[in-house]
Amino acid sequence: MKKKQTNTNEWDTVIESEHSLFDINFKELWHYRDLLVLFVKRDFVTVYKQTILGPLWFFIQPLLTTITFTVIFGNIAQLSTEDSPKIIFYMAGITLWNYFSNCLTSVSGVFNANAGIFGKVYFPRLIMPLTIVISNLMKFGVQFLLFVCFIVYYTLINKITPNIWILLTPFVILLMALISMGIGLILSSMTTKYKDLNQLIGFGIQLFMYATPVIYPSSAVPENFKWVLDWNPLVGLFEYMRYAYIGIGSFDAYSLVYPSIFSIVILFLGILVFNKTQKTFMDTV
């Protein structure tokens, strides 16, 4: 179907059955920005609309997780926190990890979760993964505020020493969003055909947490396992979080080079795979 402009010979809408793998209309995403805002509002309001505590769960969940990690890994297992307060050490890792894992899990199931609406109306399918990343960013903001409150408290009692590197926080969060979205887009394309991957993804994310310095510092990893951290693009981001806000560990700007390159590459690959899958996924969902 083609729609023709009045008094001109130019088409303003062209619908075709064949598209190139690299045919990604980013300009169309901007035209549908109002829909993106609507979906973000929907996600933020409906998730806790019929709950007793409502948005307070944003604070309760990371706080309870932090207390659990402090008791189990800090007090019972006696894992090193490099002489920093245990509760703030674990909260730094949990706050960042929650955002990554929530985005990755939700984006990886975007086709199956939205098959109904995808089959009824047209809009750029990338709107849904973007909605997930932005919605979780709002939740992260609430949890990050709780983290900052603890940072201020421990700074006032001279237990920790934040530094100027905290100014890089928006960039680090952006890298976390790009990496989670890129990997999620690739996995979402696979789950349309292989349903049991949904179970493996949740299990895999739990295992991946232990390959990332969420509950331990990188310095605690034995030398023969250092190669695992070298290949993990999230390591530099977690090391940054603790160095900038707590003042422990080691960090320099070069630590963000690998995550930056990885985020660009994985997002590019994810969009390509997603763009290819979206044309035929209704036949397999």
pLDDT band at 280 (very low <50, low <70, confident <90, very high): low
pLDDT band at 278 (very low <50, low <70, confident <90, very high): confident
Number of H helices and E strands in the chain, helices first, is 12, 2
pLDDT band at 9 (very low <50, low <70, confident <90, very high): low
Mean pLDDT for the stretch of residues 85-114 = 90
Check if the beta carbon of residue 273 is closer than 8 Å to that of residue 186.
Answer: yes
Strands of the chain (E only): list them: 2-4, 11-14
Predicted confidence at residue 182, as pLDDT, reads 93
Higher pLDDT, 22 or 187: 187
pLDDT band at 1 (very low <50, low <70, confident <90, very high): very low
Pull the structure tokens for residue 222.
């034995």
Higher pLDDT, 19 or 181: 181
Domain assignments of the chain as residue spans, ordered by start: 25-283
Mean pLDDT for the stretch of residues 54-65 = 78
Amino acid at 12: D
Least confident interval from 108-112, 128-132, 139-143, 227-231: 108-112
Pull the structure tokens for residue 125.
């399918």
Mean pLDDT for the stretch of residues 149-154 = 94
Q: What phi and psi, each to the nearest 5 degrees, are found at residue 113?
A: -70, -25
Check if the beta carbon of residue 151 is closer than 8 Å to that of residue 245.
Answer: yes
Strand partners, 14: 2
Closest CA to 92 of 177, 166, 156, 174: 166
Higher pLDDT, 172 or 222: 172
Distances 15 to 116, 144, 271 between C-alpha atoms, Å: 22, 44, 21
- Exposed e or buried b per residue across 181-220, where buried means at least 16 C-beta atoms within 10 angstroms of its C-beta: bbbbbbbbbbbbeeeebeeebeeebeebbeebbbbbbbee
Neighbours of 8 (CB within 10 A): 8
At 219-269, the pLDDT tens digits run 888 888 888 888 999 999 999 999 999 999 888 888 899 999 999 999 999
Predicted confidence at residue 51, as pLDDT, reads 59
At 176-227, the pLDDT tens digits run 999 999 999 999 888 877 777 777 888 889 899 999 999 998 888 888 888 8
